[in-house]
Amino acid sequence: AQSVTQLGSHVSVSEGALVLLRCNYSSSVPPYLFWYVQYPNQGLQLLLKYTSAATLVKGINGFEAEFKKSETSFHLTKPSAHMSDAAEYFCAVSASGGSYIPTFGRGTSLIVHP
Amino acid sequence: DAGVTQSPTHLIKTRGQHVTLRCSPISGHKSVSWYQQVLGQGPQFIFQYYEKEERGRGNFPDRFSARQFPNYSSELNVNALLLGDSALYLCASSLRLEGGYTFGSGTRLTVV
């Protein structure tokens, strides 16, 4: 079984500031890890995924995440926030070699102030 | 290219009724999954189908059922609707089981 904990239901940053959204996972087997973004009244869009290749994963819209096995973490970062980044962000984990069904976290709402 | 399409976009039903939600995956995608998203929470897994066979089922009652058709489109059926079934129902497709999902915009179901 696997699970995801997203620390902080809301994160507030100023435009141009660093974005850091935290995700810790639990998995009994090597995990696949994902970050998705959801804008109001829309479905989820895949930002990036880790599938056991490079530990630093670059995604769309300038986002990246680093897989740290020792810390069981997969935090999402972006050097400079834009107003358009305001949305709900979800971290998800699936078990490699198994059913691959992702389990999602509760989400973190990113608020960007001008 | 068409993404994942879901219909209808919004639906209002009365307690005890039945509902059918539909999903068309991206062309070539053979895996379809259904998720329920209650306001303020992350998506909860309901079903996964791959090559028309059920590959996984989440912790939902038997009132929930689904199927995948030969063209890989899918239906989610919910019987005897309860107020607590009000949610955004998301369909996602992927080329392979282990790949990242592409989600549709969802069906907003309101049970009154």
Contact B103 A96 (CB under 8 A): no
How many other CB atoms are found less than 10 A from the CB of residue B71?
10
Q: Is B98 on the interface with A (CB under 8 A)?
A: yes
Instruction: Give the Cα separation of B22 and B74 in Å (integer).
Output: 6
Q: In chain B, what residues touch A45 (CB-CB under 8 Å)?
A: 103
Q: Which two tokens stand for residue B46?
A: 């309901």
Q: Is B104 on the interface with A (CB under 8 A)?
A: yes
Distances, alpha carbon B65 to alpha carbons A17, A30, B23, B55, in Å:
46, 31, 14, 13
Interval B40-81: pLDDT, tens: 899 999 999 999 999 999 999 999 999 999 999 999 999 999
Lowest mean pLDDT among A4-18, A58-72, A85-99, B12-26: A85-99
Distance from the Cα of B17 to chain A's closest Cα (Å) equals 25
Give the type of residue at B65: S
Give yes or no for residue A2 having a pLDDT over 90. Answer: no
Contact A104 B44 (CB under 8 A): yes
Instruction: Give the Cα separation of A48 and B58 in Å (integer).
Output: 24
Q: Is B70 on the interface with A (CB under 8 A)?
A: no
Residue carrying the six token digits 């790949």: B99
Contact A43 B105 (CB under 8 A): yes
User: What is the residue-averaged pLDDT of chain A?
Assistant: 92
Q: How confident is the model at residue A5 (pLDDT cuts 50, 70, 90)?
A: very high
Q: What is the rounded average pLDDT of the residues A102-113?
A: 95
How many other CB atoms are found less than 10 A from the CB of residue A37?
20
Q: What is the rounded average pLDDT of the residues A9-25?
A: 97
Q: In chain B, what residues touch A46 (CB-CB under 8 Å)?
A: 100-102
Instruction: Give the Cα separation of A47 and B62 in Å (integer).
Output: 33
Instruction: Give the Cα separation of A107 and A104 in Å (integer).
Output: 8
Q: Which three-class secondary structure state does DSSP give residue A102? A: coil
Q: Is B111 on the interface with A (CB under 8 A)?
A: no
